[in-house]
Every structure is written in structure tokens, then in C-alpha cells.
Structure 1
Amino acid sequence: MSPYADPRRRLAASLSRRLRPRPPLSVSDWADQERRLSQKGSAKPGRWRTASNPPLREPLDCLSLRSPVRDIVLMFPIQFGKTEVAVNTLGYCMDYHPGPVMVALPSEVSFNKWIDQKLQPTIEATPAMQRALSTLNSREAANRREFKDFDGGQLYIEHAGSPSRLKSTSVRTLIVDELDEFAACLQGGDDPVKMLDGRTSAFPVSYQRLYISTPQLRGVSRIEALWDKSDQRRYQVPCPHCAARQPLEWSGLHWLAQEGQVQRVWYVCRDCGAHIDEAHKTAMIAAGAWVAAKPEASLRGYHINGLYYQLGLGPRWQALAQEWLDAQNDPAKLKTFVNDRLAETWEDPAMRAVQQAMLADRALPYPLRQAPAEVRAVTSGVDTQDDRLAVQIVGWGEALRSWVLDYVELPGDPAEATVWDALTELLNRPIPHALGGELRVEATAIDAGGHRTEAVKHYVRQRRIRRPLVIFGAVPNNAPVLSKPKPQDVTWAGRTDKRGVMIQHVGTVAIKHQLYAWLGADARREPEQRLVHFSDQLPPEYYRGLTAETYDPVRNRFTLRRGRRNEALDTWVYAYAATHHPELRLHRYSAADWARLAQPLRRLGQTESPPAATPAPATPVAHPPRRPKRPSSPFAADDWINRL
């Protein structure tokens, strides 16, 4: 006889559940204690263990009762456990933190599959969820496929094919699976994110919203748009050789292939360059942690890719590399790989080429060598050739919006002093600002690759310009924008001279990806909202140079187009790297920092007329020159010299 057949026992059981004190419990703790995996939907049925996939722990705990996080975005690859995060959260809400819950799916097909393959097997295998659903017999009769009535709450399962039902439901916890497919399934043209956000408006303080999806098309993807607004957390793991923490990126994976078959695969540490075997992956992931790129954002965002698949729970690195090679020359397969395995948005290469060809049409009517009103700082990049120096001067504004202020090629052999004298005069010449006053080039990155390395080092040692950098292009594809400086000079005693010339490597691949992403996004923006701006006085050759390289997915690098010169692209990359100078770090500037730079310029711009000149005295008064104070740093000395 069932213990709930007696009404008194049912009442006692209900009161016991409501009155007993509950210890603090997170979603991951509840899942480890109560969740059971069914053999119908899991390769490893039995007790759930969060430790078997450590990156899921933090996203799970963001949805706990005492978590202050309200909105969570998961941009995950397929078969990584993103749906398990939803199911564990649902079980937690039914058993430990009851309340109205909605699971929203994009289509009726996905709706039926989710119920049959995820929800029902989980309920059948998890006693805690069964107890929540069977506390009262009356609720057993009310439970249906798309609706579950449990003690303290209700579960609604809806899909975009029935928008009227989506709009008529108020819940405290919202779980949205495969967000990027919603827009295509909503026939009324509603924005899916705005429509779904409204479901929690009745719970302004306690609501929680979980958005899950693999991304689709760049510029259309809703999950990418939310990710861009989030704090952008990536899972960083320690290198087993140097312990440097870094996210695993596809550009860091290397392989050896013969006749189209991958024979060996390894990962390259972007800090020390050591080769990492996949056997280290389990320990690396266990010691990893989520790190936010924009911690000030209130929206919590998580992104991870297929390189983090645990051994036995997903394809190995070699299988992923083989899948990548097999997808080449097949845009459909390549898009599927980029979306499903890398969890990145896909952009049609043909569309990108069209956007690049239209760069000259976006040019704005501002003169070269005059900074527009939005510019707050200026850097430059120099590319060294055997017979010339290519120089690009770029102005930077808030959020690293850029304005190309000049592009010049100085003829002359860099082994001789003449061309360096011309460079010094060019970079030390003040740049007039639209609001009044002048700006100076704050840092310059000079490429030392090729045949003139020692000439570049000699010029930088002289410090004839502000904050010069000796740079090389980094070999690893996933290198940071600007590496740590490494001293090259030695003292008379044979020791490293810490005050001598320093060498730094530039992550050219990452910067070019960033530049082309910005240029592609600017095609859909109004001129005042663009991130990269060009003057209409730039020659047509500049745009050919800026688009001279194309990404080769087989080699995982950028390659030069036939018949093109890429100095315009390289010098822009170097000018961007100069913004990361240790004494400048424009990429770290907040809105307040940019506003502080604008204050003296605005004061100059608001001056209606210059003050009246003071008449000169009849007899000039001779003043003895004051001896300047000794500068406290070599960079302060540069400032003093340049003012002479």
C-alpha cells in the first residue's frame, strides 16, 4: 500500500517538507546528491558528478538560490553539457527552490525531443524530482507533457511555434535552449530576447534567466549579441610547462598531416611556446577557472569550445583536427564545424570580401594629420623594408575607436641615417586637434624583422621619439597582442642590461582577426557608430594594402594575396599593438579615463577668442636659464628632450 494513500500521511509528508530547515545548497551540490542519469540519454548512466566536467560548476551555481546573478549566457559547443545545466537547474527548482519555471524551445520538433530525450528520462531516473511531482494525487492528474504541477511551483514547456502561449506566461526562472533558432521560428517578427525577457517581469528581484545556444551567423546571432554585452568569461587553464594561464583556442592547436590524414596533434602554449600533449588536458581543466574579460558587466557570459571535451565525453583533439581538414573547401561542413565545435559565429568569406572592397566608400571628409574631435591619443606603427619605411599614424578614442590620421612611405635604406631622420621629424611633428591644441604620437611600434634588425635596435636605443618599441611578429597564432619585453643588451660585465633595448612580440594573427571583424561590423553601422574610420584623402593603394591578406584555414594563418603589398595592414596592426605599451595601455582605459583625456581639449575648444597679448617691455630682460631637474625615469627624459 502506498504511504500516500492515507490522507493524514499525505498531509504530514507535505507539512514535513515545508517546515523542515533546509541547509544552503547550490545547484551543483544538489545535482551531485540527487541527480541520476538515465541510460536512455547518457553514455554513462548513474549518479551525476559535476567533477567529471569542471567548467559546468560555476554556470550551475550562478542559478542557485543565494546567487546574485540574474542573467546567464552560455555559448557552448554541441554535446558539452549545456542542456545538462538546464536540466539540473530545473530539478533544483522543483525539489529545493520551488517556483514557476519555463523551458522555452525554438520549434515543435525540438520541443518533443527535449521532453522525450531529456525531461522524461531524467524524471524517471531521479527520485527527488518524482517526489516533487507526486506529493499530491490531484497534481498527478494535472500533469501533462507540456505542463508539470509540483509542490510550490509549476513547469511550463513552450516553443516558438506558439508565441501566444509564450507571451501569456509569467515565471520566476526562465530557461531558453538554442536561442539562435528562435528568430526563424517566430512568425510574427517579434524579437525573441525581448519577448522572453518579459516573462520574468512579475519577479523583478528574484528572477533568473538562462540563455543557451550554439551560435549561428555573425551579425544575426542572438546568443553572440548577448555574449558581447556580458562579462565574457573564458575558461583559463595552466600550461603544464610554465604554469601560465590561458584559454584553449583553436589557433593554438597544431597538427602533422600526411595525405590528408592527421598523424599527430599538439597544443602550443602562447606564453612559452611549449608543446602540450592532450594527456595533460584532464589535469589542466581540473585546475582551470573562469576569467572575465569585462568584469564590470552585469550580464554573466560563458564561452567555451570543443578543445575542452573531457576524455571519453567528446572527440579527441586529433578527431577535431581531422574534422577540420575534411571540412575545407566545403562551406556547409566548415560552418557546421565552426558553429558546433568551436561555438563561434560563421561569416561567409564572400561577404567579407565584398565588405573589404567597399572600405574606400566609407571614407569620411576629414583632413590627414588633423585629429577629429573624438580622438584622444595617437600611436604609430612602422614597417621596415630594405628601401623604405612605411609609417601609419592612428588616432584612438573611447573603446579604441580609431581614425587613420596619416600613411606615409619614407624612401631610403634603413641602414643609413637619412630615413631615420625623416621618421623622427614625422613622428615628433605635433598633430593639430579639431578642438584646439595639439596631440603627439604617444608610442611607436617598429618592426625589426627582415634585414634591418640592428638598425631598428640602434634607432630605439637613441630614444629620439616617445616610447619606441622594437617588435617582431609572434610565431604562435594565439599569441597576445603584445608580449612581455625581453632585454637584448648586456652590460660590460656580461649581465643582462635591464635599461637596454627590449624586444616584444606582437600577436599579428589575433589583431588581424580583430580588425577584419570590426571592418565587417562597420558595414552595418552608421558612420558615427563605426569603430574604424578612414580619411577621404587616403590613396586607393592604402585600401588595397589594408585588405592584402586573406585567412587560410588549412594553414591557420593569414596569407598574402597575389600581387598585393601589405604594409598598410601591418602598420595598422603595429599601431594597435602600440596602444598596449606598458606605460600607455589604452585598452585598459575606462570611460572616466577617456573623459579625463578630453577635458583639456574641450577647454581649448570652448575658448571663443584668444586672450589679449601682453605688450612686450621696451627693454628685454635677460633671465639666466634654469637647470632642469633630473628626470625620474627614461620616459620622462624623453618628454623633456622632445619639448626642447
Structure 2
Amino acid sequence: MRVQANRGQIARALRRGLAAFGAPAPLTLRQWAERHFYLSAESSYVEQHWQAWPFQRAILSCIGNDDVQEVDILKSARVGYTKILLAAIGFFAQHKQRNQALWQPTDSDRDEFVKTELDPMLRDVAVMHPIFPARLSRHKDNTLLIKKFLGGVLHLRGGKSAGNYRRISIGVAYLDEFSSFDPDIDGEGDPGTLAAKRLEGATFPKMVIGSTPKEKGTCLMEKRAESAQARYEYHIACPHCGGHHALTWGGKDETHGFKWVGRDADSVRHLCPHCSVLITQAEYLAAAESGFWYGSDGSTIDQDGVFRDRDGVIMAAHEHIAFHVWTAYSPAVQWSEIVQAFLDAYEKAEKGDGAELKTFWNTTLGRTWEGAVEKIELDELKRRAEIEAFALPGRGENVVPMDCLLLLTGLDTQDNRIEACTWGFGRGSQMWTVDHQIFFGNPEEDKVWKDVAQYLFESRFVHEGGQQMAIYASAIDSGGHHTNAVYEFARKNKARRVFAVRGRPFGEKSINDGGSMVDIDWRGRRVKKGVVLWHVGTNLAKDLLHSRLKIEREGAGYIHLAGDLSDEWFRQFSGEVRATRKTATGSRTIWTAMRKRVEALDCTVYALWLEARLNLQRKTDAWWQALADKLGAELVQHDEPPDEPAPTKQEPKQPAPAKAGVSVSTPARRATRRAASSSYLRGRR
């Protein structure tokens, strides 16, 4: 008996030792999940063996297909996406033995995912036990940051820091709740691009990105899905006419989608777009078993992940695909629940509380929300540009218009240039685009600052009244890598009304949001007297700009845009939207850049800060008339804004007229300067 027991122990030891040299029978991810995956009690309504729903099967098959390199999933809640993600992690760790990394929007999101989803899966899916010996112990191979398997590793990271995308080489990358990531990570790019860099060199690179969507125009997930080779929706065959169609929300006047009677949520049916017959949820569930995914290019994907072209012929798989799926497809949710949730949210929205309706749109319909986004429309800006705005009749040269009485310049610093936008201001907060300049050079060097000084202090612009105008005040952005250089320039030119400013992205109380003294450390030398750093309420300034751009009639508050501004200027000026973003102190609605370059907008914000700092909205008619008299201007009387503040008695101090030998900004002079310094505005970088 003892000999037989020893033989049994030896046989088991040999099997364990030789197992590493064996090749497992090939399985697809769908087959692996249906054979091995288990629903844990901590993260499921019912603890049990998992069976994929019909619409989930092709998603699983495509994630496991080495020919499909990028899978995007634009989804609602309650469609089982997290289970798909966990199954993929287990499959690539146990069956494919590949290195993986998963990013969540924040470190805390990562910690919660590991504790409530990943660790229970590793505990309850028995096939993971042999490859993860450290699962039951506190071990360096089993932490919130890393899970080391036999044959592979899973890195777990938060997505806030660019450092979390470095120093790892992987074959599979996951980004969960992609819409909640910052659009630009530490100035190094979007999170999808940073994660993709970690896949370079992989034999079979795989990226899986999923999320519920957010605001229209700012949603990272929507943008990514739009770049896919094809976008797929799950189609069923109508039990009445046989025509295939997706489940849609539709609308009151649409000839498809959900329909119900009054406020009776139980009466909901789905209207077929082909035969206009209403089907029940039970009929949908029966038809879903033979459904398929239908693509924007006419191709299809069956539940085994086989791609076919529009003629039904098997084709090569697309490398980048996107799926859209929403709650109505889930067998675990009653259609009547969806309708009732909408009715409740809609009732609150009619009373002014639109939060629940937005949540319904994102998390139930899996669609971006359009109602919460404010933006400056590019096409509308171009339409209202005044082609002849600054042409003086009979003289044919560019001039500052009659009502424009004060010139203020906002400047933005970049690593290889300084950009300046000069705006004209008049009574009643009218504004005019007067000039835009770029001064190329390193802001740490003196030469570029000499060019800036010459422009700010010596340039003269011809006014329609016949006189010449100088720039009255300027505000320079001190953020970025050249803070001390800006401080030094502002300190030296304080008497010429040069201000060092920095944007306050949230929590501001006003556009002119106070100032503080800062020390100067210029090239290693300490200066006893510092300079004032002025804080700009950037969101409030952009709100003000947005509201003024809504004014259609010339007069108080109207913004005049010159017709000779380039397309790039307009793209920069309209390059941000106001949308909800996660910050260190919670979710806030802030203006968010949707493109890398928005210098024209930033410079305008600093000019608006100057308007607030100089208190222009409170100046009296007498103050403005004094400026007009010095310029020979004849002011046109416009209606004042209804909330015009009480006037002050401060008298204007107009800059001195041009002296002999000082440059004057004539059309030829301005055109020459633009050609030399602003060629990128016409597309030549």
C-alpha cells in the first residue's frame, strides 16, 4: 500500500512538473469564459457559473481574436461590461500567458476595482489558482499595483499621472471608464495614445477601451469610437417581417424605437422601422438568440466573431472596431423600468433639475449628452466676421474703428514663442480684434523679450478719427516653464502697465481674482522687491466671452471679428467647451480644451482680465468722451447694458502720440509683420 501511495505522489508531481511544457487545447475567449468564468458574490446579484448573453458573445470573441487589435465599447450600465473585462484578464493570463495592464481613471478607482472585482474573480475562478500561487497571501506579487502569474503579469494603474504609463512592456492594454480620464495627461497626450505606446513591439498587440459616454463634443470615448474602421450595433430579425434592426430609444415622432401610452410604462413596445409593428420584450429576447452585430460599413460579426462583408462573404477582421450597446439589450432589465426611469427624470427636468435626465442619457441609453455643453461655434464665428470691419472708406487702409477707444493686449507664453492678441475696447464693453502677433524665440532669452517690448511700447495703430493709438496695458501669462522670465519683464515695465497673470481654473470669485506678491529668482539673482502675480478667473472670463458672443446686434457688448483672421485663429478661439470634469476636489463644470492649441482664446481671456482690472465697465460717459476727444472720434450712441454699474470719477490717461522714428502700424507694416511672424496661421508651420 505504501508503495502504491508513493507511486501516486510521484505521478502527481510529474504531472505538475510537466504541465508547464504542455500546450493547452486552443480556446476562444468566449469558449474560455463559458467554461471557466464564475460570478462572485461581491460583484453580482447571484453567485453562479456565468453564461454570456447573446450580444456579449461576439464582443468576447473579438477581444480574444489576435487579428482585432483595438476594441472600443461605448456602453450603458447593466450590460455586463465589467464581467467581459474580468474574463479577458483571466483568459490572457491563464490561456495566452501575456503581460497585461489595466488603467482606471484614478488610483482610488483602481483600488476599488481590485478589491471588489478582480480579487474575487481570482479567488473564485478555479482555473486561475495554479497560475497565481500568491492569491491567498500578502505578497509582493499580489498587491493593488501588480498581480504576477506564472507566465505573465498584470499591472494595475491609475490614469492621472504620465508616470503611470511608463516602464512597462505589455501585450494587452485595458482602459476602463475612458470618458472619465483627463484628455491630456501631464501635457504628454491623451491616455489612449500613452497606453498604446506600451504595446509597441508586442507580437499580437491588443487594446480594449470601454466607457459610458459623457458630454457631446468632449467625450473621449465617443471620439475614439468615431475613429474605428466600423461601428457596430446588435441587430435582431423582426418576428413579424424578418427585417433586421437595432433596438433604439427613438422619440415621440420617430418611426422606430420605444413607444408607450401616456405615463403607462408597462405599455412599452419596440416599433420595427421596416413593418411598423410593435414587438414585446419577450419577442426581442427570443429573436436575440440569433442576432448579429451590424456595422457602419455594412459588414457583420456573428456570435463566434466571424466577420462578413455586406454580401455575406467571410472577410478579414477589422483591426479597430467599436461596439455600442445599451440597457434595453440586457435580459436582466425590464423595458418598463427604463421607461419609468425616463418619465421620472423628464418630470424633474421640466422643473429645472436636469441632472437625472443627463444620467439617464449616459448610463441607460449609452449616449452622449448634448444639453450640458456650452461652446463657441466655429462656423458661427466665421459667419459673423466683418470683412470690411477695419477699412476706412475712401482711404483703403486698415484703421481702428471710430468707437474703439482703448487697446489692451493679452500675451501667452510657449516654449518657443510668445503670442499676443491686441483687442480694442469701447464704451458699453464693445470689443474689436485689432492685431495678432507671434514672436518666435525661447522666452528664457532676451531677444524675444526685446521684440515683445518693441511691439507693446512702440507700435502705433491708425484710428478712424485721424490720430494714432498705442497699446494702453498688457497682461502676460506666467504659467508654464518661463515664470521667472515673465515676472522679470513685468517688474521692469510696471510703470507701463504690464501685468504678470496666471489663470485660476476653478474656485474663482471674479475675473479679476486678486493678486499676491512673489519673489524673483532671475538667473540665480535674488531681487528684494518682488512683483505682483495677478490671478485670472478663467472660467468666469470665458463665460463672459461666451455670453457676449451671443449678442447679435452691434452695440453694447458686441464683439467685432475682423475678416482677415485666419482659419487657425478661429479654431483656437473656439477650441474649448464648458463641460463636467473630475478634479482633485470632485466633479466641476469647467472650460476644457478640445485641441492642443488655444492661444487665441487664452490671449483674449487675459485681455478681458485687463478690462476687469481697469474697471472699464464702470467708467463714465465723460471718461470715454475724453478718450474720444483725444482721438478725434465721433462716438455713435448705443443702448447701454441693462446692468450698467455706477460710474466712477476717474479720468482717462491716454498714451502719448507717436514720436518721430517710431513705427506706425499701417496695412503694409502689419501685413509684413504677419508674414514674418504668423505664417503658421495660414498652415505653414
Corresponding residue number in structure 1 for 2:162? 163
Residue equivalent to 2:296: 293
2:345 counterpart of 1:345: no
User: Match for residue 223 of structure 2?
Assistant: 225
Indicate whether 1:328 and 2:349 are aligned.
yes
Residue 15 of structure 1 deviates from its aligned partner by: 3.6
Query: Structure 1: how far apart are the matches of 2:275 and 2:81?
Result: 32
Matched, 1:96 2:95: yes
Q: Cα distance, 1:285 vs. partner?
A: 1.7
- The alpha carbon displacement at 1:28 in A equals 1.1
1:339 match: secondary structure: helix
Distance 2:136 2:113 in 1: 25
1:38 aligned partner, one-letter code: S
Q: Partner of 1:32 in structure 2?
A: 34
Partner residue of 1:174?
Answer: 173
> What corresponds to 1:57 in structure 2?
57
Contact 1:139–1:149 (CA under 8 A) maintained in structure 2:
no
TM alignment of 1:247-266, pairs within 5 A: 247-251=246-250, 252-256=256-260, 258=262, 262=265, 264-266=267-269
- % identity of equivalent residues: 20
> Residues 237, 162 of structure 1: CA spacing in aligned structure 2 closer, same or farther, 3 A cutoff?
same
C-alpha distance after superposition, 1:50-82 (max 9, x if no partner): 1xx111111111122x53111100001012111
Alpha-carbon spacing, 1:73–1:130, altered in 2? closer, same or farther (3 Å):
same
CA distance in 2, matches of 1:360, 1:42: 54
Does the residue aligned with 2:148 lie in a helix, a strand or coil?
Answer: strand
Offset at residue 235 of structure 1 (A): 0.7
Alignment of 1:564-603 (within 5 A): none
Deviation of 1:279 after TM superposition, in Å, equals 2.0
Instruction: Please list, as runs of the form range in 1=range in 2, the aligned pairs for 1:223-622 lying within 5 A after superposition.
Output: 223-230=221-228, 231-251=230-250, 252-256=256-260, 258=262, 262=265, 264-294=267-297, 295=299, 298-312=319-333, 316-326=337-347, 328-329=349-350, 330-348=353-371, 351=374, 360-361=383-384
Give the equivalent residue in structure 1 for 2:45.
43
The code of the aligned residue for 2:247 comes to L
Output the CA distance in 1 between the equivalents of 2:173 and 2:335.
28
1:291-345 alpha-carbon deviations (Å, 9 max, x no partner)? 1113596311101122212145897444344355345333322221111111111
C-alpha separation between the residues in 1 aligned to 2:327 and 2:223?
Answer: 21
- Is the contact made by 2:129 and 2:135 (CA closer than 8 Å) also made in structure 1? no
Post-superposition offset of 1:8? 7.9
* Alpha carbons 1:262, 1:321 under 8 Å: kept: no
State the Cα distance separating 1:162 from its structure 2 match: 4.1
Contact 1:217 1:346 in 2 (8 A): yes
Amino acid in the other structure paired with 1:56: Q
Output the CA distance in 1 between the equivalents of 2:48 and 2:184. 36
Q: How many residues matched?
A: 362
User: CA 1:140 to 1:127, structure 2 compared with 1: closer, same or farther past 3 Å?
Assistant: farther
Q: CA deviation at 1:161?
A: 3.4
Mapped partners of 2:282, 2:378: distance in 1? 42
Shift of 1:91: 0.6
Question: 5+ unaligned residues in a row in structure 2: which ranges?
Answer: 251-255, 300-316, 389-565, 572-685
Residue type of the alignment partner of 2:38: R
What SS does structure 1 have at the residue aligned with 2:41? coil
> For the residues of structure 1 that align with 2:265 and 2:137, how far apart are their CA atoms?
60
Quote the residue 2:152 is aligned against. Answer: 153
Relative distance call for 1:137 and 1:270 in structure 2 (3 A) is closer
What is the CA–CA distance in structure 2 between the aligned matches of 1:124 and 1:78, rounded to whole Å?
A: 25
- Kindly tell me: are residues 7 and 290 of structure 1, through their superposed partners in 2, closer, same or farther at Cα, counting changes over 3 Å? same
SS of the residue 1:250 aligns to: coil
Preserved contact between residue 255 and residue 321 of structure 1 (Cα < 8 Å): no
After TM superposition, give the deviation of residue 175 of structure 1 in Å.
Answer: 1.1
Q: Which amino acid aligns with 2:87?
A: N
1:9/1:147 Cα in 2 relative to 1: closer, same or farther (>3 Å)? farther
Determine the C-alpha separation between the residues in 1 that align with 2:570 and 2:319: 23
- Secondary structure class of the residue paired with 1:170: coil
Per the TM alignment, residue 131 of structure 1 is displaced from its structure 2 partner at its CA by 1.8
* SS of equivalent residue, structure 2 residue 25: coil
Structure 1 residue 163: Cα displacement:
2.9
Counterpart of 2:434 in structure 1 is none
In the alignment, what sits opposite 1:442? Answer: none
Could you tell me how far apart the structure 2 residues matched to 1:12 and 1:136 are? 24
2:257 maps to a residue whose letter is L
Query: Residue type of the partner of 1:344?
Result: R
Structure 1 unaligned segments of length 5 or more: list them: 366-524, 531-644
Q: CA deviation at 1:125?
A: 1.1
Amino acid at match of 1:166: Y
Take 1:139 and 1:254, find their aligned partners in 2: how far apart are those partners? 51
Between the aligned partners of 1:309 and 1:137, the Cα distance in structure 2 is: 34
Q: Deviations over 1:352-380 (max 9, x none)?
A: 89789668438999xxxxxxxxxxxxxxx
Give the superposition deviation at 1:101.
Answer: 0.7
Task: Return 182-191 or 247-256, whichever deviates more.
Answer: 182-191
CA distance in 1, matches of 2:386, 2:17: 72
- Residues of 2 paired with 1:61 and 1:289: CA distance? 13
**Contact 1:72/1:209 (<8 A) preserved:** yes
Decide whether aligned partners of structure 1 residues 191 and 254 sit closer, same or farther in structure 2, where only a CA change above 3 A counts.
Answer: closer
Helix, strand or coil for the counterpart of 1:328?
Answer: helix
Q: Is the 8 A contact 1:61 1:67 kept in 2?
A: no
Question: Residues 313, 109 of structure 1: CA spacing in aligned structure 2 closer, same or farther, 3 A cutoff?
Answer: farther
CA RMSD across the alignment: 3.6
Alpha-carbon distance in structure 2 between the residues aligned to 1:345 and 1:190: 23
d(CA) in 1 for partners of 2:379 and 2:117?
45
Give the 3-state SS of the residue equivalent to 1:347 in structure 2: coil
| Paired letter, 1:92 | F
Kindly tell me: are residues 240 and 265 of structure 1, through their superposed partners in 2, closer, same or farther at Cα, counting changes over 3 Å? same
Task: Name the counterpart of 1:81.
Answer: 80
Match of 1:70 in 2: 69
Deviations 1:266-301 (A, max 9, x none): 111111111112221211221210011135963111
Contact between 2:74 and 2:225, CA under 8 Å: does it hold in 1?
yes
Cα distance 1:347–1:46, how it changes in 2: closer, same or farther (>3 A)?
Answer: same
Go from structure 1 to structure 2 and tell me whether the alpha carbon gap of 1:334 and 1:138 turns closer, same or farther (over 3 Å shift).
closer
Q: How does 1:195-214 map to 2 (within 5 A)?
A: 195-203=194-202, 205-214=203-212
Residue aligning to 2:519: none
Structure 2 partner of 1:114: 113
Corresponding letter in the other structure for 1:82: Y
| CA deviation vs aligned residue, 1:190-216 (integer Å, no higher than 9, x gap) | 31111111111131x311110011111
